[in-house]
Amino acid sequence: MRFINNVSLKKASVLTALLLLAAATTGTQAASALPNFADLVEKNAPSIVEISTTRMVDTRNPGNDQEIEELLRRLNPDADPDLELEGIPEQRQMGAVGSGFLISDDGYIMTNNHVVAGADKIQVNLNDRRVFEATVIGLDEPSDLALLKIDARDLPYAEFGNSDVLRVGDWVLAIGSPFGLEFSAAAGIVSAKGRSVPDRGSTYNYMAFIQTDVAINQGNSGGPLFNLDGEVIGINSQILSSTGGSNGISFSIPSNVAINVMTQLRETGAVERGLLGVRMREVDYALAEIFDMERPQGAFVDEVLADSPASVGGILNEDIVLEFNGHSIEHYTDLPFYVGQYRPGTEAEVIVFRDGQLQHLTVALGNSPTNVVATVEPEIVRERSNPLGFRVSELGLQTRQIEGISGVRIAELNDGPGRKAGLLVGDIIVALNRQEIDSPQAFAQIANNLPEAGFVSIRIIREGQGTTLALELAP
């Protein structure tokens, strides 16, 4: 039998304590190296907004109804087709949700162009639960940015940072409304910079995106991307996904682009971009060796367009653009990106590599084909057949005879007391102002004799369930 004396036990105890202390210290250091986003979220969450849009979309073409009936007669000559088309509206209202953020205390908001383009109505929900209708100040499809305005004062807002100093590997945080889950935060790192995303639906793909692994989903579009200093260094725009959900590849518009676009939209409602006038491609290893470059870099000029600013400024075919107005051109996609940040008429300093030498040129930028004012669609004012703000149609034969219901169906719903009360297209109205309805004519007669102001009741059937709502009429 072996015995361990007290001295050995003390040595073992001391050694164990030291090992535990070292492990605890290592764990603490590792934990302290990870950022804590709680303070950042708490500070910036009040500047985030949820944007809800509605628009009217076509559901069917009434001109095709006769063709469908004729086809059914051919397929079944012995029966009289009853398509029940009277209850199907020609248009329906479609809603969508996106994100945005306040950039000033007087209600200016940045978001994505694709979030609000074509919307009939834009509603902004603030973090403090106040709701405002927004006005479009300007839209810019090439950058996928939009500037909105709400009528409010003394609002919290986010500050822009410098996206040029952002590095691959930096921590970033996104706040938005993925799938309508408002004011949700998600963190990650910058995966790459200067990404070009082809076939993104733009007429002019000049953007150099920030790529991150932040979990960006539908509804995050237009929301801000923060650095650890709480500055907006990007605006979330799109994801690369085969499923529609986050795959850890998301793209954000650099803040320096957003600042330029925001400034111009605020000043004029439109964005102007400069034009160089060259066709170009990447400098690969073979081209670098042919032209005696130390390494592949820059934008190789395949062709200078005739009478273009580049031609006038002295740029030649097979020049390699290494710098544009102080911006280093590492990849050919960098050149249109930086050119697009300057307005027409800007005299830009360009450095090209030609015959083994650096050439310094000055080029006065022309007008980009994207310099077209993006007009905001005027509000559509639809004719109303009654003071309630909706149209009705007769019930189909099946509803009247088989289900035994008398009334009218809501075929089209516009702004007005009906929408505010919660009515939906397709609801069956069986009584208005406590008077039963059995036809559109009866409905029209009752509606035209309603009081100019006050509350009236409306009895409806929705999905087999009856309920009574209150309509508030205003003079």
Provide the annotated active-site residues: 114, 144, 221
DSSP assignment of 289-340: HHTT-SS--SEEEEEEPTT-HHHHHT--TT-EEEEETTEE-SSTTHHHHHHT
Q: Which residues does residue 323 pair with via DSSP β-bridges, in sequence order?
A: 328, 351
Q: Are 220 and 174 in contact (CB under 8 A)?
A: yes
Q: What is the DSSP string of 60-77?
A: --GGGHHHHHHHHHHH-T
**The token pair that represents 61 in the structure block:** 């073409």
Residue 162 corresponds to which tokens in the numbers above? Answer: 């410098």
Strand partners, 466: 461
Backbone angles phi, psi at 220, to 5 degrees: -80, -15
Q: How far is 100 from 116, CA to CA, in rounded Å? A: 11
Q: How many Å apart are CA 129 and CA 150, to the nearest integer? A: 14
Instruction: Look at the block and give the residue holding tokens 């639960």.
Output: 129
Question: Hey, which residues does 324 pair with through a beta bridge?
Answer: 327, 350
Q: Show the beta-strand stretches assigned E in 59-183.
A: 91-102, 108-111, 121-125, 131-133, 135-140, 145-149, 171-176
With CA atoms as reference, report the closest residue to 48 among 238, 216, 172, 183: 183
Number of CB atoms found within 10 A of residue 214's CB? 26
What's the CA gap between 148 and 464, in Å, rounded?
41
Rounded Cα–Cα distance for residues 200 and 111 (Å):
17
How far apart CA 41 and CA 29 sit, in angstroms, is: 23
